[in-house]
Amino acid sequence: MGTLQFLLLCVVIFLPETLAFPAQLRPESWSSIDLEKVKGYLDKFFPVFSKTQNLSIEERIKEMQKFFHLTVTGKLDTETEEIMKLPRCGLPDVSEYQTLPGTPKWKKTNLTYRILSYTSDIPRKNVDNAIKRALMVWSDVTPLHFRRVYGTQADIEIRFARREHGDGAPFDGKGGTLAHAFGPGEGLGGDAHFDNDEKWSNVDKDINLFLVAAHEFGHSLGLDHSNVRGALMYPIYSYQNPETFKLPADDRQGIQKKQKQKVNERGRSKLLHTLSTPLCCSSHCNQEVTKQQCSMAWCSVLPHTCILPSKSCGPCTSNEKWYYWQERRGTMPLTKFSQVRNSSATREHN
């Protein structure tokens, strides 16, 4: 067989494979609509920082797919497109700070909140209750205390708004972004805004206000989004029964790390709650305590020292009616708290 005939035979034999193989490697063609849609989503929720500024659009999609535990293709496939359509929080999924020491957090444990406006979807008393319960999700596992105020500026200002509402982060109408909140700080810091174009609910239909509010208040306290499916701070909304809701471990660990809250040996935090301000915050205590208007005071056994969760406030007088402390064995906090009233002790166990 001549050389030319041999070459022609090779072409005939291998032509189908040589044509098919490059087609598998060729990047998916982007329409202008697809490109605009993907870039808009990435810019909003996976913004470019100094360490990612040189990534291509395909590489940025891969980062998003990794975050959501999708098949990593770098393409706008069906799975990726579906996740982009789901209702979610309006904050980015990546940021330049993590839940580590030195990241944004409140420098106090007693925070105020104010509800500036309401949705017409739910009776006002039900909105009030949903907001209160959503804040309790976090106060139940930290030393934080939330007090509602009226007619004066609060640490956490809460309102329902539509489209552009003055904070540089306009809502997008029904679906898409449900709400957003700002991390601890002055001005907008701590504030939580809810899209009034959504259909809000306090039951198991539409968008449940309690669940969304609890998520947003995590941001108000300085938490980022989590990529753990099932976590409250996961950015995609999913319904859970509010009546049986329990803060997942990932969120609890995150906020306790943020607050430097010690947990007991079983990995759970136990806080002694009171319905009113303990009398240890009276004028008998150091002035710093009353200035902070603390809702919970802690006293060590010896000496009796009033302690806010993050700050020693000075001695209490011996005629104080209530003392609180966490008992220890060596360096390990025990799973109980003690309270003393007029020299008689009671204990609350886990």
Residue type, 268: R
204 in a known ligand binding site: no
Which residues are identified as catalytic?
Answer: 216
Other Cβ atoms closer than 10 A to 22? 8
* 138 vs 14: CA distance, rounded Å: 65
> Would you say 193 and 225 are in contact if contact means Cβ atoms under 8 Å apart?
no
Query: Is the Cα dihedral 47, 49, 53, 59 positive or negative?
Result: negative
| 155 annotated as a binding-site residue | yes
Q: What span, in angstroms and rounded, lies between the C-alpha atoms of 256 and 143?
A: 9
Q: Is 16 helix (H, G, I), strand (E, B) or coil?
A: helix
Annotated binding residue 198: yes
195 carries a ligand binding annotation = yes
- On whether 172 is known to bind a ligand per the annotation, the reply is yes
Q: How many CB atoms lie within 10 A of CB 173?
A: 12
The region that residue 290 occupies, defined by phi over 0 for left and psi between -120 and 50 for alpha, beta otherwise, is: alpha
121 in a known ligand binding site: yes
Q: Is 67 helix (H, G, I), strand (E, B) or coil?
A: helix
Reported for 173-178, long-range contacts at CB under 8 A and 24+ positions apart, including other chains, are 173/197, 174/198, 174/199, 175/85, 175/87, 176/87, 176/88, 177/87, 177/88, 177/89, 177/90, 178/87, 178/88, 178/89, 178/90, 178/207, 178/212, 178/237
Contacts of 6 (CB under 8 A, 6+ apart): none
Q: Which two tokens stand for residue 47?
A: 């913004």
For residue 296, say whether it is annotated as part of any ligand binding site. no
225 is in an annotated binding site: yes
* 215 marked as part of a ligand binding site: yes
The DSSP annotation for 186-210 comes to STTTT-EEEETTS-EESSSSSEEHH
167 is in an annotated binding site: yes
User: Is there a binding annotation on residue 189?
Assistant: yes
Is 233 marked as a binding-site residue?
Answer: yes
Q: At what angle do helices 32-45 and 57-67 cross, to 10 degrees?
A: 50
CA distance linking residue 72 with residue 80, whole number of Å: 9
Can you say which residues are annotated as belonging to the binding site for Zn(2+)? 89, 165, 167, 180, 193, 215, 219, 225, 233
Can you say which residues are annotated as belonging to the binding site for Ca(2+)? 121, 155, 172-173, 189, 191, 195, 198
Can you say which residues are annotated as belonging to the binding site? 89, 121, 155, 165, 167, 172-173, 180, 189, 191, 193, 195, 198, 215, 219, 225, 233
